[in-house]
Amino acid sequence: MTGSPPLRSTAWFGDSADPTGGGLRAFSHRSRMRQLGYLPEEHLGKPVIAVLNPWSDINPCHMHLRERADQVKRGVWQAGGFPLEFPVSTLSETFQKPTPMLYRNLLAMETEELLRSYPVDGAVLMGGCDKTVPALLMGAASAGLPALVVPSGPMLRGHHRGRTLGSGTDLWGYWDEYRAGRIGECEMAQLEGSLARSPGHCMTMGTASTMTAAAEALGMALPGASSIPAVDSGHQRMAAAAGARVVEMVCEQLTPDQIMTREAFEDAAATVLALGGSTNALIHLVAMAGRLGVPLSLDDFDAIGRRVPVLADVRPVGSALMEDFHYAGGLPALLRQLAEVPGALHPDRPTATGKPFGSYYAEAETHDPKVIRTARDPVAGEGGVAVLRGNLAPGGAVVKHLAASPALLTHTGPAVVFDSYQELRRDIDDPSLGITEDSVLVLRGAGPLGGPGMPEYGMLPIPAYLLERGVQDLVRISDARMSGTSYGTCVLHIAPESQVGGPLALVRSGDPITLDVPRRLLRLDVSDEELARRRAAWQPPEPRFRRGYGALYAEHVSQADQGCDFDFLAGPGTDPMPDPS
């Protein structure tokens, strides 16, 4: 590529101007490229673009990506690049246990090491299912090569008996109806086939929709890319355009650190909050920022949330689904409304398109003002997430107060403690526990180490006998996460977690607990002396892992407020590339 900086892949293949040069190693690499069936002129001197593909038979959110990679490659070829597809591990939210969160850092490491160890000049990062986009962006940030996300796109709306259905959100609702005896097995069998009916990630504002939108708001995906339904032909065109753009990014040497700045993370946080997005975003964005040395804390989210209104009327906070959101104008339309809030966005910062962020939304139009609201007519006047502190959460805790019951946002009640999710599942319907609508359900042992992997247990079930009486919500607190599609007065991410001796470990059933969201407070109403006595008697639980990846994870993972990254991966900078000669 004349006039462009030297390509990293030249170190493997030799200089295209001297096709016999580069010594024995380069000759050997070129001969293997011939074995792969490529002519010298097809790849020599061209930017090599890795297409990272987390397709798998077990991942319905990525089931279309095998074909979609072909469209990415089409774009790479047309722009004068050379695409190479790399399968990467799949994080399938529904199927992988105990939770794909345990493996987010593994995919981040895989991403970084693939990009470092192969002859690659830039990357397209495909994916959408929950932890996938954070993992890919964390790895790409640490690898330091130009990269662009191709979000996998939401699935189509669910349909059941004339109603539209949203992933997760409606599943939980119908399940509670079933447990309360209000719907039968026949209808549940029908629901099984109608909730999720196309390729693509969850089409509520769950973690997938939240994090793909965050990637776009960071400037790491093309404008409008994140909401395109997975099966829409526009998704194919976006994939081809992304493939073409990343070739240009290589020539411009436009690396992630130039795009994912403090201003970009502030805009991503504001976007997530304006979407009424998943609480998981707080963990992932903190971890992603950490990879670039960008300071970002829970307090930033709380501060941004206080000035940013919720503008997307999408479940679980609102009523529409991602397909509706896309037809209403998608993220560009929402950003244009958000930009009306003074100081909410930074329009002049750089993005992967090579144009300033303001170009993502300057011309955008809203086609359905019920789904994408204006700042004057928001879904809610404040961002959906609050950060709590107090003697029960010295490192912080998170509550999605917009998806909670207003009456419970200020509440004091007696704790009913469960030491594990298994114990909770076994005993929750046992009337002898004496759970009432005043109780505060407490789950511990569900954090980054205790869970392990911090599973999405945070929407603790409500006893069937209370559901039958029409009680729909209780204050529930835990060191777990919660699915972005969940709702209820659920305090999450309590840090430090009980497994490492956080104050949550000291709670006993009957202790009064106070939640005061307006004052951002979570307090255990037990004297310091009594807590000191309990701490002296506390025995750390058995470690969850003795070998393998789990043991590595347990030794190095940080707490929720720090993003749950590994200590040896967090922090800016890239390691030198290997010497391919």
Residues near ligand FES (CB under 6 A): 61, 93-94, 129-130, 167, 201-202, 206, 208
Answer yes or no whether residue 152 interacts with Mg ion by CB under 5 A. Answer: no
Query: How long is the chain?
Result: 581
Residue 405's binding partner among Mg ion, ligand FES, none (Cβ under 5 to 8 angstroms by kind) is none
Map the footprint of Mg ion across residues 75-104, applying CB under 5 A: 93
Region binding Mg ion by CB under 5 A among candidate stretches 133-141, 174-182, 200-208, 529-537: 200-208
Using the minimum distance from each CB to ligand FES, give the nearer residue, 83 or 100.
100
Which of 152, 261 has the CB closer to Mg ion?
A: 152
Written as one string, the DSSP assignment of 216-254 is: HHHTSB-TT-TTS-TTSHHHHHHHHHHHHHHHHHHHHT-
Helices vs strands, H then E, count in the chain? 20, 14
Say how far apart CA 193 and CA 204 lie, in whole Å.
Answer: 17
Minimum gap (Å) between residue 120 Cβ and ligand FES: 27
| Distance between first and last Cα of the chain | 22
Q: Is 186 helix (H, G, I), strand (E, B) or coil?
A: helix
Quote the least distance from Cβ 196 to ligand FES, whole Å.
8
For 67, phi and psi rounded to 5 degrees?
Answer: -75, -40
Question: Binding to Mg ion by residue 142, rule CB under 5 A?
Answer: no
Burial 45-75 (b: 16+ CB within 10 A, else e): bbbbbbbbbbbbeebbbbbbbeebbbbbbbb
CA-closest candidate to residue 504, choices 491, 516, 517: 491
Output DSSP code: residue 410. E
Question: Shortest approach of Mg ion to residue 459 CB, angstroms?
Answer: 11
What residue 61 binds from ligand FES, Mg ion, none (CB within 5 to 8 A, per partner kind)?
Answer: ligand FES
Residues 6+ apart with CB under 8 A from 467: 176, 179, 180
Q: If DSSP codes are grouped into helix, strand and coil, which group holds residue 162?
A: coil
Dihedral class, residue 22 (left if φ above 0, else alpha if ψ from -120 to 50, else beta): left
Distance in Å, CB of 488 to ligand FES, minimum: 18
Strand order in the sheet with 386-388: 386-388, 396-399, 490-495, 475-478, 440-443, 410-418, 512-516, 521-524
Q: How far is the CB of 201 from ligand FES (least distance, A)?
A: 4
Build a one-symbol-per-residue string for 41-80: x at contacts with Mg ion by CB under 5 A, - elsewhere: ----------------------------------------
Q: Which does 94 bind (CB under 5 to 8 A by kind): ligand FES, Mg ion, none?
A: ligand FES
| Sign of torsion over alpha carbons 194, 198, 199, 204 | negative
- For helices 280-291 and 298-307, the axis angle rounded to 10 degrees is 120
Whose Cβ is closer to ligand FES: residue 128's or residue 496's?
128
DSSP state for residue 63 in the 8-state scheme: T
Q: Which of the ranges 207-215, 371-379, 396-404, 428-436 carries the binding residues for Mg ion, by CB under 5 A? A: 207-215
CB-nearer residue toward ligand FES: 210 or 255: 210
How far is residue 460's CA from residue 574's CA, in Å, rounded to a whole number? Answer: 41
* 206 or 452: CB nearest Mg ion: 206
Cα 67–46–237 angle (5° rounding)? 30
Tokens representing residue 44 in the block? 């020599």
Report if residue 204 touches Mg ion, rule: CB under 5 A. Answer: no
Closest approach of Cβ 199 to ligand FES, in Å?
11
Residue number, 272 or 440, with CB nearest to ligand FES: 272
Give whichever of 110 and 130 is closer to ligand FES, judged by the CB atom: 130
Owner of token pair 């105990």: 98
List the structure tokens of 149.
């996300």
Q: Considering beta carbons, is residue 196 or 560 the nearer one to ligand FES? A: 196
CB of 213 to ligand FES, least distance (A): 13
Provide CB contacts within 8 A for 419, sequence distance 6+.
444, 445
| For ligand FES, the closer CB: 91 or 475 | 91
Confirm or reject binding of residue 207 to Mg ion (CB under 5 A). Answer: yes
**Residue 222 binds which one of ligand FES, Mg ion, none, with CB within 5 to 8 A depending on kind?**
none
| 483 touches Mg ion (CB under 5 A) | yes
Stretch that binds Mg ion, among 237-245, 257-265, 438-446, 482-490 (CB under 5 A): 482-490
Q: How far is the CB of 272 from ligand FES (least distance, A)?
A: 16
Round to whole Å and give the CA distance between 521 and 410.
9
Which is closer to ligand FES, CB of 82 or CB of 325? 325
Choose the contact partner of 201 out of ligand FES, Mg ion, none; CB within 5 to 8 A by kind.
ligand FES
Among 270, 210, 256, 243, which residue's Cα sits nearest to residue 352?
Answer: 256
Whichever of 93 and 323 has its CB closer to Mg ion, that residue is 93
Binding part of the chain for Mg ion, among 71-79, 202-210, 268-276, 368-376 by CB under 5 A, reads 202-210
Rounded to the nearest whole angstrom, what is the least distance from the CB of residue 224 to ligand FES in the complex? 20
Given ligand FES, Mg ion, none, residue 246, with its beta carbon under 5 to 8 Å by kind, binds none
- Residue 331 tokens read as 């993220």
- Contacts to Mg ion by CB under 5 A: 93, 130, 206-207, 483
